[in-house]
Structure 1
Amino acid sequence: MFRTALRNVLAHKARLLMTVLAVMLGVAFVSGTLVFTNTISEAYQKSSAKGFDQVDVAVEPKYQESKGDTVGKSPELTQALFDRAERAPGAASAIGVVNGFTAVADKDGKLIGGGFQSRGGNYWGDKDPRYPLTDGRAPSGKDQVAIDSETASRAGYKVGDTVRLSVDGPVLTPKITAIFTTDDGNVAAGGSLALFDTATAQQLFGKNGTYDEIDVKAEAGTSQAQLKAALDKALPKDTTETTTGQKLADDQAESTAKAMDGLKQGLLVFAGIALFVGTFIIANTFTMLVAQRTKELALLRAVGASRRQVTRSVLIEAFVVGTVAAVTGLVAGIGIGAALRSLMGSFGATVPDGPLIITPGTVGAALAVGILITMLAAWLPGRRAAKIPPVAAMSSVHAKATTKSLVLRNTIGALFSGAGIAVVLAATTMSGSDGQAPMGLGAVLLIIGVFVLTPLLSRPLIAAAAPVLRVFGISGKLARQNSVRNPRRTAATASALMIGLTLITGMTVMAGSLQTAIDKMASSAIKADYVVSMANGNFLSPDVEKKLTGTEGVTATSPLRNAPSRIDGETEYLTGVKGSTIGELTDLKVENGTFEVGGDKVVVDSDTAELHGWKAGSDFTVSYEDGKKQQLTVAGVYEGNEMVRGIMLDLGTLSPHQSNPTDMQVMVKTSDGVSGATKDQLEKALGTNPAIKVQDKKDISNDIAQMFTLILNMVYGLLAMAVLVAVLGVINTLAMSVFERSQEIGMLRAIGLDRKGIKRMVRLESLVISLFGGVLGIGLGVFFGWAAGELLGTSLATYELVLPWARMAVFLLLAATVGILAALWPARRAARLNMLTAIKTE
């Protein structure tokens, strides 16, 4: 039986090639994902570990939890604490670390490093062991800076050049006095690092003569653990905590691994979808191969082979095919992993040097996935073939599905679909994250139910296409009949396409609806012409608002300033605004009282008011971050949203209690309204700063739209593989259909249907099956998009369902294109059949 199975594999090379391709694509994605994430993770971990070479023990401030009326904060690492750490037994030297955000512009004025990876720090003394200089000398004073070699190379900077940079808004133009190398992971990922002398860094980052961290180096012969113990004795335990360099490196490695796990899981989901779609192809392929060998298998049964042996022979074929596909997919996956790493460079991200990491786990996963998926998908056709009685098989009497089995299938499908719809609808009534898990479960149940019911659904839906198919005469009529001849196989083929289009449509519906909701929110809540903020979401200096206020044409400004406080024993964030102008800049619906901000009068969003039981006229006591208390009065309750919410009070009331005030953003109203000239004027007033964004409502919406578009394009790209696998499935089904109808096709040719008519018949059949899958996928996608939107609507008041009709038409056109392209080879093969040979086919 083993030799028979191997011969059968070699006898159907062309047909099995499609199965190998389907499995190989899925395996390649799985192994490529594992190779890519393992390689990146290993490279970053090694790079991060080098960054801790100069740290034996790190001293950090110990965060003081909020208690009673006291707002939680981190104590300051003063110069006195630094001196005590440096003099601790076993300490050879110490470095005071100062960190903060620093945006560096290139020579064209554009931001380097994407904002989020733009960092600044201090260069310690004349020679900092953390940052070896490759050129120049250590920076000294406000007008000098050192930049990393990667940034210098990308921007074309050299020692002596003047560079534009920003820490919290205002533009600085220091001279570059040094270029240095670093193992900083942010720089390795494409970011930038700018270093000032310690005094300048402390001033720029608002540290007031203090440090973010103290790194201590041990004397020769002193271990990290011994130095840690000495520092614990020398420093106050209630305000400082110590960590060994090895622990920091291990924590960083674990953090990197976790970050990669998220990416890995996301990519593996799409690989799983492709493999799931591939199972339909595998099942169809082996069904076709078994159908071609029905008499052969019957003869084996007649000469003594048992059912188990027949099933086993089919599984052996599947094992061979799966092994070939898995090995090929693994090799392709290694190439994909290497290509993905190189591709990161084209997006401006730089990956630390290191070899490709191919672990035994990656090899094992590729082989296991390829072989098990193939054998699992081939098991049902093999079992079905073994159940055919030898006499019936040798007489070409093929066993058809019994009425009982069809009733059972439809009942199971209806139960799964009903349960799925019920769970999804129940999830839409829940709030936020509570409904995510039930909705995911409901979606899985519904997809399974629709898949099981697809044979039943195929007849009425394909019948609906009859009027259009009549236009193509006898070819169209035959195509419709052929499409419903084997509903199970048609369903399996259509389902492969259905799954991909369900996900694509659902994501598109959600993205479009969310974008509309954000547009409405911005237009309804903000009357300001412009909103000014940092490019990376960092805090702005109060000087930015002062400069804007003094700019010609600006009629009103107000910053939005966050500050922690304690109210009724709980932490609440206050939002400081200009009470005199905030009414001109916002358009918030007042539910109770009046919108009045000034002195001890504040306005509160409805959610916060409900939480505390407040209404207009209510008094409450607030404890500020400096420990002082004040009684405030609620003047009004407004309807908050994602853009504006919280307890608003006047800056004159809040600012005296802040030691280092910073703004989240600044709202601006101008006399000329929104125009290109006004925007340019505001940007020039801020020094044409690449780190600052000046945006009108449309710009804000476009920013969000870009994010959604990026996510959608990634999803489309990843699901393209599943669609490609679905194309192979359609080709497989049509090839099977042509084989089964060889005699019929020969007879049609004999009675006058020409080759063009045969080709048209096969193409129309493919088109109908593909459109059937497309309609199901788009329908399910719209339902899931609506359901997910209802769940989001509980926290986003402006959300409403928006159907992207144009994109859905494109998706349907994509399904039709898939059908036409997939039919090319089977249609050509059917038209080339010799009619006399075909008629004699049994």
Structure 2
Amino acid sequence: MLTLAWQTVKARTSGFIGAFVAILCGTALVAACGILMESGFRGGVPTQRYAAADVVVTGDRTVRPPGGDVLAFEHAAEQPAIPTALVAKIAAVPGVKAAVPEQTFPAVVVGPDGQVLADKPSFGHNWESAVLAPFELTQGRAPVADDEVVLDSGLAGQAGVGVGGEVRVMARSVPVSYRVVGVAEASGSARGDAENRGSRQASLFFSAAKAADLSGRPDQLTAIGVLTTGDITSRLEDVLASDHVTVSSGADRSAAEFDDVSQTKAILALIAGSFGGYAVLVAIFVVASTLALTVEQRRREFALLRAVGATPRQIRKLIGVETTVVSVIAGVIGSVLGILVSQGLRSAFAAIGVVPHDFALKISPIPLVAALLIGIGAARLAAWSASRRPSSINPVEALGEAAVQRKDVGRVRLVIGGILLAIGTVATTVPLFLRGQLGAAMSVMATLVLIIGLTLVGPRVVGKAVRVIAPALRGVSGYLAAANVVKNSRRLAAAVTPLMLAIGFAVVNYYSQTTFTAAVQQETTESITADHVITGVAGVPSEVAEAVRGIPGASATSLVRTQVITARKSGDSVEVNRGPANGLDASARNTVDLDVVTGSLDDLTTGTVALSDVYAWWNNKKVGDTVEFWYADGRPAKLKVIATYQHELAFGDHVLSAADAREHTRAGMDSAVLVKDANVTALKDVVSRYPGLQVTETVAAQDRGEERTQFLLNLVAVGVILGYVAISVSNTLVMSTAARRREFALLRLVGTGRRQVIRMMRTEALVTVGLAATLGTLVAALPLTLLAIGFTGVPLPAGGIWVYLGVLAGAAVLGVVSIAVSTRLSLRAKPIDTIGIRE
């Protein structure tokens, strides 16, 4: 059987090219996802601050609500602090040479010109933690007094100061002068990593007492670096099991040091897993459709085999072995290409901010072998599906089949398609009643349902459409094209459907998010009633709002952008989500319009929260109730509801007191200060005391990093998947056109010119692309129009039209070029030779 299969593959190379390409691309995509998933567990960036530490202990950033399964968790946006008491506990563990406490807090140097030196994040630390890099003094000595500081060599050079000089440092307050008593430089591996990849941060070192004071949390630490005599990671995990901490060693130390690496490792595995699962499903679909077309074109060959005594089992085995031969070759090549695809995806993710630019992938044989096995398995599954009909058909019936399509689709299929179209149409109205990210997501889901429904009824819709179009096609070529599309509407629908899917899905994915973003900015502009807004490079010290309130007649409100994690019971599972929240002062009503429905913002103090009206209704909460969630640093919250409001797009579902929100962020500062009725001269005088602050007229919408990242990830994922779908479309068009060689030869033998055949196929291609563009636009227009009306009040979605035109152009080029190239190749042989070849 293997010999026969190999001979068949060699004899029908052109017929197996489509399946080969589909399997190769699918395997490459799955291998890339496997590499990304493995990198989520083992990848990262080289640590700098903790390069000399064997183990690093930090607060646990994973929030797992009670009652949830293993996948019910969320990653905290801020690094939680840990108590100083853990230092002694860790030091007492056998094998620990030293447990080194570390305080980390924002601290920037103000240059001689009064401007903040902020070309990279700048942090202050206690001098004891310098050994963790290690930082070694190249000049001077360690800081002892409260007015002494040690700068890293890069920062000292940038500030133009050496030992004995003075610098002004701003850390949560007005700049204070410090005497530079030393200059330090990273040594060993930390220095090498900094030189090779670029230092990610600038460091200032203070005495232990001063660092504890500047951090604002004298009884808490950012991390504890552990120097050991051997591998005692598991021992430390056992000792600290009840302290809600994370014990990191090896490459994981960078996740403890850098917030972006920590979040990247948490989400990359999930993204790659879900993306990889989607890729596997699409691969099976594409390979199955390609193989089905290949097998269908060989139906007479299989009928002949059945007529000479081949059993259905032998036919299935032959198709399976042929597919295995092709899939093994394609899978091996595709697995290797997966390395290049993973690098491309990593670069794309880095460009959109999902992973750091210096995040390194971990590549091992495991994902490559797994992708190869998955590719072969998907191909075999597709072969089994494709072989069912030719293996079971009666030989006499098969030999007598005419090469024409079935006249219509089944009634059950039409009914299911109609039901899905009705459900999708109803779902498109959800954004009229439910705003927020959920409403935008429902538009995408409704579009997908509409596309599936339209796919099921596609032959009927396309058949009616071509009967309307056909009379408009003029000339000999137009007449022939009209006859073809009318009599073979099912074949036309097979080409129109994936193009329609690509157009509709891409357009809705893009414009739903741009419309949502525009709605957020619009509502933010309407909700902020302040005259002026104070912002800063690294935040605004909390004392600024109080200083502005000292201006006669002025109102000032602290605005703290933050996030919260919520959990909701859904059947037997628990849904965990992280979303934007804001901290405001009780005086916010003077500078902010939340469109309060019940309660009053005057009652917004520590221990209280205001909820969006939709969130309160969804969770059955009202004023006076208690609501539970988790702060940005993963600490649990149990707050009293004092108000509900409607402007959730601008302020999220939770508005906390500024003090509560500020306490659970590492910076401990305001994101902005909203000012109203303040004398401009007096306001500028207050701001001038804090270098790096500026006064503007408006405030930007909250940076919904999670939602923006998800949007960009969707674009990348949709782009890759649609690229794979494009390969499938091209395969289908090329193979179906190539299968019409005898038809072209017959047309030429009865007097049709070569150019007329080419024009006929060009007309068919334009009909195909035109129908796909029309249906794809219509299937996207309804959900986007209702989304725009519900979110912005106008029927047109936000965003440039160039994306829509680009999608249409891409689909047009794909369809026209695929058909044109395969047509010209099919016409190269002489008609008299082609008419005599077997099917």
Deviation at 1:458, TM superposition (A): 1.6
- Residues 74-119 of structure 1 deviation map (CA, whole Å, 9 limit, x = unaligned): 99957x9978987999976443321223468999978545x6xx65
State which of 444, 456, 468 in structure 1 corresponds to 2:460.
456
Residue matched to 2:341: 336
- Aligned counterpart, 2:634: none
The answer to whether the 8 Å contact 1:88/1:231 transfers is no
> Is the CA contact (8 Å cut-off) linking 1:771 and 1:815 kept in structure 2?
no
| Contact 2:331-2:372 within 8 A present in 1 as well | yes
Could you say which residue in structure 1 is the equivalent of 2:131?
128
Q: Please name the residue that 1:746 is paired with.
A: 745
Equivalence for 1:568: none
Partner of 1:760: 759
Report the CA distance shift for 1:15/1:647 in structure 2 as closer, same or farther (over 3 A): closer
What is the 5 A alignment of 1:663-678? 663-669=670-676
Matches within 5 A, 1:319-718: 319-340=324-345, 349=356, 351=358, 356-360=362-366, 362-391=367-396, 393-394=398-399, 397-398=402-403, 400-401=405-406, 406-415=410-419, 417-418=421-422, 447-466=451-470, 470=473, 473-533=475-535, 540-545=540-545, 557-560=556-559, 577=585, 579=587, 585-589=591-595, 607=613, 640-643=647-650, 662-669=669-676, 685=688, 689=692, 696-697=697-698, 699-700=700-701, 715-718=714-717
| Residue 157 (structure 1) shift | 9.7
**Aligned-residue offset at 1:31:** 0.5
| 1:415 and 1:449 in contact (8 A); partners too | yes
Supply the AA of the counterpart residue of 1:825.
V
Tell me if 1:31 matches 2:31: yes
The 3-state SS of whatever aligns with 1:278 is helix
Match of 1:309 in 2: 314
Structure 1 counterpart of 2:748, one-letter code: R
Q: Judge conservation of contact 2:106–2:124 (CA < 8 Å) in 1.
A: yes
2:212 alignment partner, one of 176, 182, 202: 202
Between 11-20 and 680-689, the greater mean CA deviation after superposition: 680-689
State the SS of the aligned residue for 1:128. helix
Contact 2:31 2:371 in 1 (8 A): yes
Query: Which TM-score applies when normalising by structure 1?
Result: 0.71
Question: How far has the Cα of 1:269 moved from its partner?
Answer: 5.5
Q: Please tell me the root mean square deviation across aligned C-alpha atoms, in Å.
A: 5.8
Partner of 1:621: none
Deviation at 1:577, TM superposition (A): 3.6
Partners of 1:93 and 1:749 in 2: CA distance: 88
What are the ranges of 5 or more consecutive residues in structure 2 without an aligned counterpart? 64-79, 564-580, 626-639
Q: Does 1:803 align with 2:806?
A: no
Mapped to 2, the partners of 1:603 and 1:557 lie a distance apart of 20
Out of 758-767 and 438-447, give the one that drifted further.
Answer: 438-447
Instruction: Please tell me whether the aligned partners of residues 288 and 382 of structure 2 are also in contact (alpha carbons under 8 angstroms).
Output: yes
Q: Quick one: distance in 2 between partners of 1:683 and 1:473? A: 80
TM-score, structure 2 normalization = 0.71
Deviation at 1:813, TM superposition (A): 3.3
Residue of structure 1 in register with 2:8 after alignment: 8
Tell me, yes or no, if the aligned pair for 2:447 and 2:505 is still in contact at 8 Å. Answer: no
Q: Matches of 2:416 and 2:548 in 1, distance apart?
A: 67
- The AA in structure 2 aligned to 1:479 is A
Task: Give the residue type in structure 1 aligned to 2:203.
Answer: A
Cα distance in 1, alignment partners of residues 96 and 734 from structure 2: 77
Contact 1:41 1:256 in 2 (8 A): no
8 Å CA contact 1:589, 1:638 repeated in 2: yes
Check conservation: 1:603, 1:648, Cα contact below 8 A: yes
Distance 2:350 2:132 in 1: 29
Give the 3 Å change call, closer, same or farther, for CA 789–803 of structure 1 in structure 2: closer
SS in 1 for 2:43: helix
How far apart are the structure 2 equivalents of 1:122 and 1:358? 40
**CA pair 142-430 structure 1, distance change in 2 beyond 3 A:** same
Q: 2:185 pairs with 171, 176, 179, which one? A: 179
> 2-side partners of 1:345 and 1:736: how far apart?
37
Per-residue CA deviations over 1:339-393 (Å, capped at 9, x if unaligned) read 5557778779354678x42243x13431233223333334444333334544455
Structure 1 Cα separation of the partners of residues 395 and 239 of structure 2: 85
Judge conservation of contact 1:146–1:178 (CA < 8 Å) in 2.
yes
The CA deviation string for residues 182-221 of structure 1, in whole angstroms up to 9 with x for no partner, is 7699988974252422233223221347645566767x79
What amino acid maps onto 1:666 in structure 2? V
Alpha-carbon distance, 1:289 to partner:
4.1
How far the C-alpha of 1:325 sits from its partner, in A, is 1.8
SS of match in other structure, 1:527:
coil
User: CA offsets, 1:409-447, max 9 Å, x none?
Assistant: 334434555566667878997898999999998776654
Is the contact between residue 730 and residue 766 of structure 1 (CA under 8 Å) also seen in structure 2? no
Offset, 1:521:
0.9
2:528 partner amino acid: I
Q: 1:387 to 1:157 in 2, by over 3 A?
A: farther
Residues 1:98 and 2:103 are matched in the alignment: yes
Partner of 2:269: 261
Please tell me the residue identity of whatever aligns with 2:406.
A
Q: Deviations over 1:555-594 (max 9, x none)?
A: 7543247999xxxxxxxx9966484xx5553345466899
Q: Does the 8 Å CA contact 2:90/2:236 hold for their aligned counterparts?
A: no
Report the equivalent of 2:290: 282
CA distance in 1, matches of 2:333, 2:277: 21
1:491 aligned partner, one-letter code: A
Query: Closer, same or farther in 2 for the Cα pair 1:102/1:810, shift >3 Å?
Result: same
Preserved CA contact (<8 Å) 1:145 1:196? yes
Distance of aligned partners of 1:418 and 1:317 in 2 relative to their CA distance in 1, 3 Å threshold? farther
Q: Partners in 2 of 1:730 and 1:757 — Cα distance? A: 25
What amino acid does structure 1 have at the position aligned with 2:324? F
C-alpha distance in 2 between matches for 1:104 and 1:586: 33
What amino acid maps onto 1:203 in structure 2?
Answer: D
Question: 1:106-150 CA deviation, whole Å, 9 max, x = no partner?
Answer: 99978545x6xx65432218x62442438445652556344498x
Aligned length: 761
SS at match of 1:367: helix
Distance change in 2, residues 1:773/1:210 (3 Å) = closer
Cα pair distance change 1:686/1:22, threshold 3 Å: farther
Q: Secondary structure at the match of 1:349?
A: coil
Partners in 1 of 2:714 and 2:58 — Cα distance? 42
Partner Cα distance (1:256, 1:633) in 2:
34
Deviates more, 1:751-760 or 1:97-106: 97-106
> 807, 816, 820: which is aligned to 2:816?
820
Shift of 1:666: 0.3
Residues 558 and 674 in structure 2, CA contact (< 8 A), matched pair in contact too: yes
1:460 Cα offset (Å): 1.9
* Counterpart Cα distance in 2 of 1:224 and 1:380: 50
Give the Cα–Cα distance (whole angstroms) in 1 for the partners of residues 87 and 302 of structure 2.
84
What is the DSSP-based 3-state SS (H/G/I as helix, E as strand, rest coil) of the residue aligned with 1:460?
Answer: helix
Task: After superposition, give the CA deviation of every residue in 1:308-355 in whole Å (9 maximum; x if it has no partner).
Answer: 32232222222222222211110100222345557778779354678x
Q: Partner of 1:626 in structure 2? A: none
Match of 1:622 in 2: none
Native 8 Å contact 1:763 1:827 kept in 2: no
1:282–1:374 Cα contact (<8 Å) kept: no
Q: Secondary structure at the match of 1:559?
A: strand
What do the CA deviations read for 1:636-676 (whole angstroms, capped 9, x no partner)? 9875544458789999xx99xxxx98534201358899xxx
Contact 2:40 2:269 in 1 (8 A): no
Structure 1: gaps spanning 5 or more residues: 64-73, 565-572, 619-631
SS in 2 for 1:384: helix
- Judge conservation of contact 1:49–1:249 (CA < 8 Å) in 2: no
TM superposition shift of 1:825 = 0.8
